[in-house]
Amino acid sequence: MRTQKGFTPALLERFERLGRGASIYEHYIPWHRVSRSDPASIGRSHLQVWQGRQRELLSDIEWVTFFFCSMLADVVDIREQFPLNRKQSTHELAAYGQGLLYASEFCGTIEIAKELGVKHPKIFFGGDSIEWVMTTDLLLTLKTSDGKLQLLAVAVKPDSAKNKPRTQELLDIERTYWEKRGVQWLLITPELHGAMVAETLRNSAAWALGKPSSGEHINFAAASVQRFARKSLTDTLRYLATEFQDMDMAQRAFWQAVWCGQIPLDLQRGWRPHEPIVLLDAASFLALNPIASRRSA
């Protein structure tokens, strides 16, 4: 069972000493972790392996939002539970060696809260207090067509939480933090994608994010699925399994082709194999993904 310990100033200092929130790619350590040594989060947590590192996601909706992020063709890194600097700091892209362009310093959350006229969150323990370290749920690093890197910040909230006054104040601090850095910020809630799409992603992620299929197998699955449009997914998978001589390989090739957009499957159809395959045009498929279409609540 998870421990019921609470956050204290000493615990936040320990997180800093451990290097949480630092580094990039597979070396990154999230600020909040799914760990017995960490205070328990509200709701279910999930561990999801992606690109050589176990991702630590603190809720069902954060897990689903991560799936949407992993479907982007230009995403090269995703840092979850990313801590925002309380004081002035260099740009977060500086960690990738982006040079002098990001050497100047930007406002921290304490200064931003003062600018906005709202209280910065604090924690109190035994008469001691310290400013809370705010976090962004998912910080994406994208590579543009000319090889440059850019960031996309994503906050995740339940539909009901975004309307609470204090939550709005905290989101204002977070949004302003990224705006001052020239980073687009999105607020994702379940209403932006729908329950059926989320269910499809949850039930297919094991194959989509599992052992990578070869490009040849993914291309074959994408080419073959046109023959089975409006037929059941079962028929398609049986055909692919016969060709690959392996049902697991068929599942991975199919869903990885969906994930990268080569099979523009209507994700609202549900994930069950007996349901017919319904294909969309590229624009409609993209619109199912609130991250790809940059929708924000």
pLDDT band of residue 129 (cuts 50, 70, 90) is confident
**In a domain? residue 174:** yes
**In a domain? residue 292:** no
Asked whether residue 56 falls in the same domain as residue 187, the answer is yes
Domain boundary among 192, 209, 236: 192
Q: Tell me, what's the pLDDT at 13?
A: 85
Residue ranges making up the domain that contains 67:
9-192
Please give the share of the chain, as a percent, with pLDDT higher than 90: 75
23-60 burial: b if 16+ Cβ within 10 Å, else e: eeeeebbbbbbbeeebebbeeebbebebeebebbbbbb
103-128 burial: b if 16+ Cβ within 10 Å, else e: eeebbbbebbbeeeebebeebeeeee
pLDDT in tens, 189-212: 999 998 999 999 999 999 999 999
pLDDT band of residue 99 (cuts 50, 70, 90) is low
Task: Tell whether the model's pLDDT for residue 162 goes beyond 80.
Answer: no
Asked whether residue 18 falls in the same domain as residue 143, the answer is yes
Q: Tell me, what's the pLDDT at 3?
A: 46
Q: Tell me, what's the pLDDT at 2?
A: 43
Asked whether residue 63 falls in the same domain as residue 201, the answer is no
pTM here?
Answer: 0.93
Q: Tell me, what's the pLDDT at 8?
A: 83
Asked whether residue 259 falls in the same domain as residue 149, the answer is no
